Amino acid sequence: MSSQIPEPPPSAARAKADNTSLGDLLGEVTRDLSTLMRQEVELAKAELKESASKAGRGGGMLAGAGVAGHFVLLFLSIALWIALGELMGLGWSAVVVAVIWGVIAAVLASIGRKELKTVRGMPQTAETLQEIPPTLKPGEVRR
């Protein structure tokens, strides 16, 4: 009476590996990697399209707010010009208001330039593509 446990039947993957040549297996791996790369590129395109769409809508809303804000500032500037004109004359009060706006424009331009330098490029997929081992990237030969 032998107490041997019967071996389970081979799995489908094991049977396939036993019956398939190394060349065929490498071909399947290559096709799978190619499919994975295409899917990553499609994902990147979808992420960029979504980001661009959101940025476009947000930019449109900000443009509308900018136009409305421009009119508010225009009429407040005219009111300040007239109020200062009562004290020093309309000519000099116009110069004072213009200088105030020149200083504000310079400060805003400086802050805006700093903000633009911090803009990053591609979304998350760029990080995913950087994780691909160098041996799988085309054009790189290891010695």
Q: Where does the pLDDT of residue 143 fall: very low under 50, low under 70, confident under 90, or very high at 90 and above?
A: very low
- What average pLDDT does the chain have? 83
Cα 112–Cα 113–Cα 117 angle in degrees, nearest 5: 115
Q: Where does the pLDDT of residue 53 fall: very low under 50, low under 70, confident under 90, or very high at 90 and above?
A: confident
Q: Which of 1-10, 34-43, 104-113, 122-131 has the lowest mean pLDDT?
A: 122-131
What's the mean pLDDT in 2-12?
A: 74
> Tokens standing for 4?
């041997």
Share of the chain above pLDDT 70, in %: 82
DSSP 136: G
CA distance 12 to 82: 88
What's the mean pLDDT in 42-47?
A: 89
Residue 98: what pLDDT?
Answer: 94
Domain ranges of the chain: 14-123
| Confidence (pTM) | 0.42
> Tokens standing for 17?
């590996």
CA distance 15 to 9: 9
* Residue of 128 and 78 predicted with greater confidence: 78
CA distance 110 to 112: 5
CA distance 123 to 48: 7
Q: Where does the pLDDT of residue 24 fall: very low under 50, low under 70, confident under 90, or very high at 90 and above?
A: confident
Alpha helices, H only, the chain: 12-19, 22-88, 90-117, 124-130
* Residue of 142 and 16 predicted with greater confidence: 16
Alpha-carbon separation of residue 40 from 6, 109, 111 (angstroms): 44, 38, 36
Instruction: Answer whether 136's CB lies under 8 Å from 36's CB.
Output: no
